[in-house]
Amino acid sequence: MKVLIVDDDALIRDSLKIILELEEDFHVVAVASNGQEALNICSDNNVDLILMDIRMPVMDGVLATKEIKNRYNNIKIIILTTFMDDEYIKEALKNGAEGYILKSQSSDSIIESLKMVMKGNVVFEKEVATTLKTIISNEKPKQACKGDFTEREMEIMKLVGEGLSNREIAAKLYLSEGTARNYVTNLLEKLRLRDRTQLAIFYIKNIE
């Protein structure tokens, strides 16, 4: 797994690089001190996953997430920050980030979050998930209700909302992984959503 670390604090960058390269599953292809550098690196390197800070000079993590996702939607992005700011959480997820975790987590927890995202899961630290529910419950809901979906679609959305991957959904509902993937794809098309993160947010906001 090729990882890019983006943080304006050199100590954080170096520490994360040391931690990740102790793991067989990770290879740090580069580090960057701001979002613009990260964007440039993505154009010249194969990157699977980015650990992205929020507050940085030149280009912050929210805008960098948006720009990178628009150009390279296959790259997974996890926001790793010290800030529990409602607007940051909302904008980062709206721009396509697959996770939002805090630097106060242990190194083992950060590594596990990376592995979960690469398996197709959406990762929020518990405090972030609570804040996210508050944010979206205060927004005007889309025009949708339970009657718009089949029972199976509801089951799929619920499990996506819980952060399960296609393989985990398939095992839980006794489906093939391909069938689970097709259900998720059809739901994204039906709701005109971009990715699993938006589908999870849609479920929490409108259905749960």
Give how far the C-alpha of residue 196 lies from the chain's centroid of Cα atoms, to the nearest Å: 9
**Single pTM value for the model:** 0.68
Task: Tell me if 50 sits within 8 A of 38, measured CB to CB.
Answer: yes
Per-residue pLDDT, averaged over 5-34, amounts to: 94
Question: Mean of the per-residue pLDDT values for the chain?
Answer: 85
**All domains of the chain, ordered by start, with CATH?**
2-136 (3.40.50.2300), 140-207 (1.10.10.10)
Place of tokens 């304006």: 8
pLDDT in tens, 102-159: 888 889 989 998 998 888 888 876 666 555 655 555 554 445 566 678 889 999 998 9
pLDDT in tens, 29-39: 999 999 999 99
So what's the pLDDT on residue 78? 94
Decide if pLDDT at 206 tops 50. yes
Lowest mean pLDDT among 19-23, 37-41, 45-49, 130-134: 130-134
pLDDT band at 81 (very low <50, low <70, confident <90, very high): confident
